[in-house]
Each structure stands twice: as C-alpha cells, then as structure tokens.
Structure 1
Amino acid sequence: MSWLTGLDLLDGAGLRRNMALRVAGDRLAEVAAFDGQKGTDLSEGGARALVTPGLFDLQVNGGAGLMLGDCRTPADVLTIAAAHWASGTAAILPTLISDRPEVTARVIDLVVAAQAQAETQATGALPGLHLEGPHLAIAGAHDPACLRPMTDTDLALYAEARARLGRLLITVAPEVVPPAQIAALTAEGITVALGHTACDRDLAESAYAAGAVMATHLFNAMSGLHHRAPGLVGATLDRGAPFGLIADGVHVDPAVLRVALRASPGAAVLVSDAMAVAGTGAERFTLAGREVLRRNGRLELADGTLAGADLTLVQAVENVAGWLFAGIEEVAPMGFDAPARVLGMEAPELAEGAAARLLVWRGGRAVARVDGGGVLPVMDGQVPGLPG
C-alpha cells in the first residue's frame, strides 16, 4: 500500500500533527512526519483527518446474531469480533453474562481456541475474556437463577482461565464476593470490576482495597449516588477509580455523564454493552429464554428492563464528544487507551510494526477504517451478509 497522508495521529503516547503512514500487509511499515510523500490524501477541504487505533471494547455480550453464551465454535466468536470491527472496534473482550458453571467452562475453552485462530490472522481481536457474573447481587437483565456465591472451584477455574487467556476481567458484587476472594482473584492476575450490586460505600471501599480496579457500567444495576449514601458510584468517583460507561443517552443521561466525567477526569472507559443484534437488522433476540426487543434505540425485556445497549463504540465516542462539546482527540482515548490501561496492557502506539487496524475521523465522526491494505467504510447499521 502507498502512503497515507493528510493526517494527524493520536495514540496512547499522544497527538502528532501532520504525519504520514505506510502500510505493508497487516502492519504499519513506516510512521513519519509528512515530507511530501505521495499516496492517498485523507484530508478534506484542507483539514487533516485524525487517525487513531481501532477501538477496544471491554464489554461485548454478542453481535452478528449471536450471544457469546450461544457460540459453539471458535468461528462463532470471531464472527462476533468481525461484526464489531466493521463498526470500528478492532479488539473486544467477549463477555459472558451470568450463566451456569458448565457454560462458563465451555466458553473459556471456546475463547482460548478463538484467540489462537485470531493470532494466526494477526488481528489481535481477542485480548481476553470478560465474565460479567454470575457472582452478582442485582440481576438486571441477567437470569436470577444463575446468580450465586463464588466457590473455591470457581476460583481455581478462573485462575487457570487467566493463565490460558492472558487477560481475564471478572465483574462481581462486593456483598457476594468478599475482600478475601477479591484478593485471591487479583493475586492470580485477574482484573476485578465491581457491578450489579447494592453495596454501600464502605463495602465498595473494602473491595477496592482488596484489589478491585474499576466499576462496570457506572450507574447501571448498582447503588446510586445519594448525598448521605454515596454507594458504589460515590466510592468510585471519590477515589478516581476507572469506570465503564454506556454512552447511548439511555443508560445514563448526558447531564449525569458530564457530572461523572468532570468529577473524575481520565477515569472513564467507554463500552458498548452490545448484544446479539449488533451489526444486524434484527428487531429481537432471546436472552436466557426471554425475548429482548429492539425499539427506539433501546434493548429491553417485556417489562421495560434494559437488556444491553443498541450502540457501537464509535457511536459512544461521537456521542460523548457532542455532549461535552469536545473534539474527538479528547474523547477517543476513552475507547482505545483507557481500556488497555485498565487491563495492565501497554498504551496502544501507532509505530512501525503495529497492527494496521486504524480509524479515520473527520468532523467529529469516524468516516473510514484502515484494515491492512485497504481503506474501508465504517458501518453504523447492518453489516452486509449478517441477519436481517
């Protein structure tokens, strides 16, 4: 591929103005200051484009018509990842919603196998796995019958899984998983998040002190912020801990989102909380035997309970930029840099040898993807070839 020019670069190391990129195969071959290189000019109307790494989503329950728990082959998992890359998310933690122990064990094996296939394709699409439950206190849209305490058998399974997967994120409720178990998880290199909980501030602080590092989808399925009862939200914001945020305007009102971002600058990790309908035109799907309806920008059970989000991570970045009256360069790191740092990964850097899975932004919107040798569109609706 020839040079890409007319661009500024933004990665985990910061912003570099007026740069040029050359791609060879699936990697960046050269990254240099623009000096007259000839190639594809990404600028428009004299304004340079912004190029970032593809986004990284820590909470992807499904896509392409599949929930992770329904996947049967490594190809199924990779199909979910591909559906999200079509909308600009280059890497995901596929996320298993609370399920039976045998399903958890099977999904761990499946994701490990899918990782091996992804590595042969040099995509880096599956850095690990997120287990959202079953050790939770508030069900939300999860199956209440699956919620339970954590046993020594569970701890052993998770420790082995982390060693095989590389990275494992587990969301737990502090009233269900006590500090000693949280400490045991973190001692195995597992990243512990707090969520689906009615805990008070003191219990949340104990969980953080034991090694928990973040809150899962702040404000949703947890004790709220009250002036005499700060709860998990207050504890998280007060200590500046990272927090997941579903920026669809449904899960969290934009005014509340602004309050959280101003209270704890640099702590937000944007997530999609995407479900099976992501990348498809489907209007419904089944979750734990219950029908979830897709309507008016929401995914909800028959009783109106939110059941994941109808959102891409690119849309989340664009939404937050609009709500904050901010530039994409201020917000996009919440979708590629912050997730990596939460997991203890190196900040993504666009340098020679890095994967050529990039996003091109203009005018506050993602307009294209660089995928190895091609410049491709960003899909904001149904991906061709996926269910209607």
Structure 2
Amino acid sequence: MSLTLADARIVTPEGVHEGWLTIEDGRITHVGHGSAPSPGLSLGGRHVVPGFVDIHNHGGAGGSFPTGEQDKARDAVALHRRHGTTTMMASLVTDTLDGLSRAASSLSELCEEGLFAGIHFEGPYIAKARCGAHNPALLREPSPQELSGLVKAARGHARMVTVAAELPGGLDTIRTAVGEGLLAALGHSDADYDQAIAAIEAGATVATHLYNAMPQLGHRAPGPIAALLEDERVTVELVNDGVHVHPAMLRLAYEVAGPGRTALITDAMAATGLGDGDYVLGPMRVHVTDGVARLVEGGSIAGSTLTMDAAFRRGVRELGMSLPDAVQVASLTPARVLGLAEEIGSIAVGKAADLVVLSAELEVDGVMKNGDWITEP
C-alpha cells in the first residue's frame, strides 16, 4: 500500500520545506519539495514532524507502569500516542526487588509487542536525600549482582538504570549496567562535581531529569549539573512543563548542551490525560491539583501530567527553539540515546513512517505509527 502526504510543511534536520512524502509498507520512500508528482492526501500546509520519542515516562490515562498492569499500560500508551509519542520507554520507580522484577517481567511482554522501546529502572539505587517521589524505605545501595537479576527479569528489554553514583557500589553498578548493554543515568543523586565526573568516566551517559533531585548549581560548588552539562558524552533530560524547572534554567541547559545533547521528556504519571484527584506512583500516594502531581506525604513533585506535544510547543514558544531544533530534542536526540536513530527520529527515506501532523498552532492533527494512522488528520 502506498500513501502520499502532499501540500505539507515537512520538518527535517535540514530545515522546513513545502513538499510531500510517500509511504510504502510502513516506510518513508520519497521526500520531495514542491507539488507531489501524483495526487495524495492534502495536508493543507500543515506541518509534518517525526513521531516524538519519550525516554522517561511512568504512565497516563489512569495507568501506572510501575504496577506492571498490562491493560492499563496499553491505555497509557494509547493516550501518549494520540499526543504524538510513537516511541517510549516504560519507567519504573523504587519498589521491592520482587515488585520491580514482576513489573519488568510483565512489561517485557509489551516490549515484545512493540508498545515500549525498553524498561527504565529509575530506582532503587538512588540517594535518600534526593529520592523525591520514591519510597525512602525501599531504597537500596547499588548492587551489580542485584541489577543483573533485574535485567534478567526484564527478559532482554531493560534499557536504562538511574544510579546515585556517590553511593557505595554506585560506580561498579554503572559499569555493570554498561556491560549489560544498558544506558547508565546519573540522577536522584547527592553527588558533587568530582563524583559526577567519576560517574561519567564509569559510563554514565544520561542525566535523569537534569536539575531535579540533585544539588543545585553553585558558583563554588558546581555539583553534578555542571559536570553533566559540560561533558559531550552526556545527554540531559529536561522536563519542560513549566513546573519542574524555570524556563530560564531550561534555556541555560539548552544553550550549553544544544539540540544534540538535549532530550525532552514527560516524566508523566497516571494522571496524565485525566483530571485532578488522587493517584499512585508505584507504592506512593499522589494528589494532583491544577495538573501538578505531588506526594500526599511530604509534597514532593511526583512526576508530571505532561505530554510530548505540549513539551514540544513549549520548546518553541518558551525556549525559542526553531522547529528543526524542537524536533531534534523531542525526536532525534532521544532516538539516538536509544540507539534507534537509523530507524526513527527524523523524516528521511528508509526510516519508519512514524509521523505527527501539526496545525499552524502546533496542535496534533494526526499521528501515524509504522505507516498506519493512529489519529487520521
């Protein structure tokens, strides 16, 4: 089956052009300028961008990935796909080892179905002083042996682990993660500048939601933020929801890391797509007021109710990104983090037809996954 999308403003890494593209058997086969050579589906000048890639997501539509409940996880994936996220990781939070293993095993079946690009263990190897919405009673010292057991439970679909590198066993666990083929991320950490550098040297290449759950940037004590921003090997996650980080600090990080090392994430939880009220994030109770999720006990921010299309729009409107750069931080850079940049993340011949149609106001008008419409424009 062949489909041509015509009369479109196509956003590629090279820029934005008026043109068309053709899709066959779920792949992009042609990308052209000007008028399409044959009749197709006219998009009336709307933008076409690659599907968004979210490497840090805990759920939505009432579903919480840390529970491992497959039906609710499917609902969450469907919600995020309607908002343009065509590739995502399932992020877990701190739980018992048995609880993490059960959730990972269950979600691995959804990975095999293509609903997730992998599983992210955000806990339990994080710092009590920076645990945020994680249960401090369930935190553990990093253990290479335990991590290997969690990786085994995920049946080949573990993709990332967040570690507080300053903890005993932290650096060895980072090295083990890399040896197991996982991405090692530094986050929920009380590390100082030198300890963060040691984590990077051990193999950490991702900053879990930069700024959040780590020491602040200081002129005498630069802490992990400076180390993570200045090292070209590190991709920094940013939660661009207007709550987690002030726009000025987001702009600062983006100016240093650039689109090639910045990945917008949602850190979404079960309330995403729903209203205010009571929810859970793993074993923790969460209350959402005015779209902001906080722990019932203590009031820490507990994930977000953000979707990637909203993060994309804020990137353009609040942070001053060009459309190609906003596409890079929402699609291509996170795809590269996952090792999938040859398949997804940009509009190019040969890549999967994971596409989002956006209005002039950058609202989602259509979403396509592997050449099939999820939402038809």
TM-score with structure 1 setting the length = 0.86
Contact 1:136 1:173 in 2 (8 A): yes
SS at match of 2:302: strand
How far did 1:129 drift? 0.9
* Corresponding residue to 1:134 among 94, 110, 124: 124
Provide, for residues 47-72 of structure 1, a one-character-per-residue CA deviation record: whole Å limited to 9, x for no partner.
x3321221011111111211112233
Alignment identity in percent? Answer: 31
Please provide the CA RMSD for this pair.
Answer: 2.4
CA distance in 2, matches of 1:360, 1:288: 34
Structure 1 gap ranges (5+): 119-124, 379-388
- Distance, in Å, in 2 between the alignment partners of 1:81 and 1:132 is 19
Q: Aligned residues, how many? A: 365
Matches within 5 A, 1:309-324: 309-324=304-319
Paired position in structure 2 for 1:258: 251
In the other structure, the counterpart of 2:272 is 278
Q: SS state of the match for residue 5, structure 2?
A: strand
Gap change, CA 1:136 and 1:107, over 3 Å in 2: same
Contact kept? 2:104, 2:154, Cα under 8 Å: no
The letter of the residue matching 2:110 is A
Aligned mate of 2:355, from 353, 358, 370: 358
SS class of match (1:279)? coil
Matches within 5 A, 1:1-388: 2-11=3-12, 14-15=14-15, 17-24=17-24, 26-28=26-28, 30-33=30-33, 34-43=35-44, 48-73=45-70, 75-118=71-114, 125-137=115-127, 138-160=130-152, 164-165=156-157, 168-176=159-167, 177-240=169-232, 241-266=234-259, 267-281=261-275, 283-302=277-296, 303-347=298-342, 348=344, 349-351=346-348, 354-371=351-368, 372-374=371-373, 376=375
1:64-105 deviation digits (Å, cap 9, x = unpaired): 2111122333x4433321111011111110100111101111
TM-score (norm 2): 0.89
Q: Is the 8 A contact 2:54 2:266 kept in 1?
A: yes
Cα-to-partner distance string for 1:230-288 (whole Å, 9 max, x where unaligned): 11111111224211000011110011111111122232110000000112235221235
Residue type of the alignment partner of 1:327: S
Q: For structure 1, which segment, 268-277 or 25-34, has the greater mean C-alpha deviation from structure 2 after superposition?
A: 25-34
- 2:287 corresponds to which letter in structure 1? L
Distance 1:132 1:230, change over 3 A: same
| Unmatched 5+ stretches in structure 2 | none
Secondary structure at 1:307's aligned position in 2?
coil
SS in 1 for 2:89: strand
Quote the Cα distance in structure 2 between the aligned partners of 1:290 and 1:370.
Answer: 33
Superposition deviation, residue 336 in structure 1: 0.8
1:117 partner amino acid: E
